């Protein structure tokens, strides 16, 4: 049973975390290169935010939003 858990440890440490080790080594050479994953997520979030705001503006321009005070039962 002990070998099974060591196999799981070897899988994670030697195989699945290898990209993170490569990024850690790259950080000494290029900060921007090491943070490329963060930049990608930041760009995806920015694009999603702009899309969301454009959708809200289009619904607002078409007067599709119910802005009455009693639009929700708890109000």
- What's the predicted TM-score (pTM) here? 0.61
H or E segment at 21? Answer: helix 18-26
Q: Torsion-angle region of residue 9: left (phi > 0), alpha (psi -120 to 50) or beta?
A: alpha
How does pLDDT run along the chain (75 residues), one tens digit per residue? 999 999 999 999 999 999 888 888 888 898 888 898 899 999 999 999 999 999 999 988 888 776 676 666 665
């Amino acid at each position: 049973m002990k070998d099974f858990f060591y196999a799981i440890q070897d899988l994670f440490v030697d195989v699945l975390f290898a990209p993170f080790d490569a990024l850690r080594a790259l950080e000494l050479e290029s900060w921007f290169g090491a943070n490329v994953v963060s930049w990608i997520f930041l760009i995806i979030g920015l694009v999603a935010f702009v899309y969301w705001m454009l959708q809200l503006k289009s619904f607002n321009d078409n007067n599709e939003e119910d802005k009455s005070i009693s639009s929700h039962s708890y109000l």
